[in-house]
Amino acid sequence: MQMIKRVNRRAVVLIALAAAVSAFFDWKMLPASIIVGGVLALANLRGIHWGVRGIIDPEAARGATGRLIFFSMFRLLILIIIIALLLYLKLVNIFGVLTGLTIVFILIMLEGLKEAKGW
């Protein structure tokens, strides 16, 4: 849980920084798209954490077994549908969404490496 909190804190700072820097570019909707991509990635991380905690500690997921199974099975599909809908409605820029997703992904990888190495 500590690792996820560190990822969340650092992701919020880096995503806000990336959105602020991208505001100087002339691309339409880029800052908002970076924020949307980061929020979707953090929501996915929270879903992964919830699913793993439910598997490891069934007492923590008591009463939510059906939702746990549903969201574990369809989390990626739901994420793709949300991104596709936002792109179809032209509410976001694909490069911004991918930037936000990538920032969170890299943070997860770095925090996992730190945790594994004991830094």
pLDDT digits (tens, 9 = 90+) for 16-62: 999 999 999 877 899 999 999 999 999 999 988 888 887 777 776 56
**What integer pLDDT is reported at residue 28 of this predicted model?**
80
Confidence grade of residue 75 (pLDDT, cut at 50, 70, 90):
confident
pTM (two decimals): 0.85
The domain segmentation of the chain, as residue ranges, is 2-111
**What integer pLDDT is reported at residue 93 of this predicted model?**
92
CA gap 18, 23 in Å, rounded: 9
DSSP H helices in the chain: 2-22, 30-56, 65-88, 94-117
User: What percentage of the chain carries pLDDT values higher than 90?
Assistant: 57
CA gap 53, 55 in Å, rounded: 5
